Amino acid sequence: MTMRTSLGAEPVTLNTIMADQAGFRVWYELALPRVYRYLLARCGGDADLAEELTQQTFVEGVRRRASFDGRSDAVTWLCGIGRHKLVDHFRKSRRDTERQLRIVSEWSAGQSQAWSQQELRSGVETALSKLPGEQRIVLVLRYLDRLSVREIATSIGRSEKATESLLSRAREAFRKAYGATNS
């Protein structure tokens, strides 16, 4: 059996991929950077957290592989799992503020090197880091994942009205934080 490992031509199911160890490795090496990048961008550039969530995502994906029907891209499916992990993390993380403060200080040190190509990203990450976890995740889901309010509400387990309200507060908080960071 010829394994199709290109991400553009996914094999039918993950069971099929994982049945062949060599094929699984090739698929994994293509899928991992995409999932990692997806999560790193959404967790404030915290590489440790991105690794942790990536790991949780793949483990969950392997466990639930039977539920993947092959009608969509497997990495997209994995990123969906990753999104849930991310939401869970920000909802329950009590030490979030301290973690993000650490990131801010790291970025502050890095900025002295005048990474012009990263200044925009740095400013966004710094501003986001000052927001509570739930505000941060709804902004990321809205403006990076382009999810609708209804989809965000489903993801975070709130009503649409409550989610819209949360988004509104998050936007306002981000504007202030971003303005302060870049003033």
Residues near other proteins, by CB under 8 A: 15, 18-19, 21, 24-25, 28-29, 32-33, 36-37, 40-42, 45, 47-48, 50-52, 54-56, 58-59, 62-66, 89, 92-95, 102, 118, 120-121, 123-125, 139-140, 142-144, 146, 171, 174-175, 178
Residue 21 or 159: the one with the smaller Cβ distance to other proteins is: 21
In the bound complex, what is the minimum distance in angstroms from residue 133's beta carbon to other proteins? Answer: 11
For tokens 């509104």, name the residue.
168
Identify which of residues 56 and 153 has a Cβ nearer to other proteins in the complex: 56
- Closest approach, Cβ 128 to other proteins, in A, equals 8
* Closer residue to other proteins in complex, CB, 21/183: 21
Q: How far is the CB of 118 from other proteins (least distance, A)?
A: 8
CB 130 within 8 A of CB 176: no
- Shortest Å, Cβ 154 to other proteins: 20
CB under 8 Å to 145, separation ≥6 — which residues? 42, 83
CA 99 from centre of chain: 16
Closer residue to other proteins (CB): 6 or 67: 67
In angstroms, the CA 38 to CA 135 distance is 18
Residue whose C-alpha is closest to residue 181's, from 125, 135, 141, 100: 125
CA distance 68 to 141: 23
Distance between CA atoms of 51 and 40, rounded to whole angstroms? 8
For residue 182, the minimal CB distance to other proteins (Å) is 10
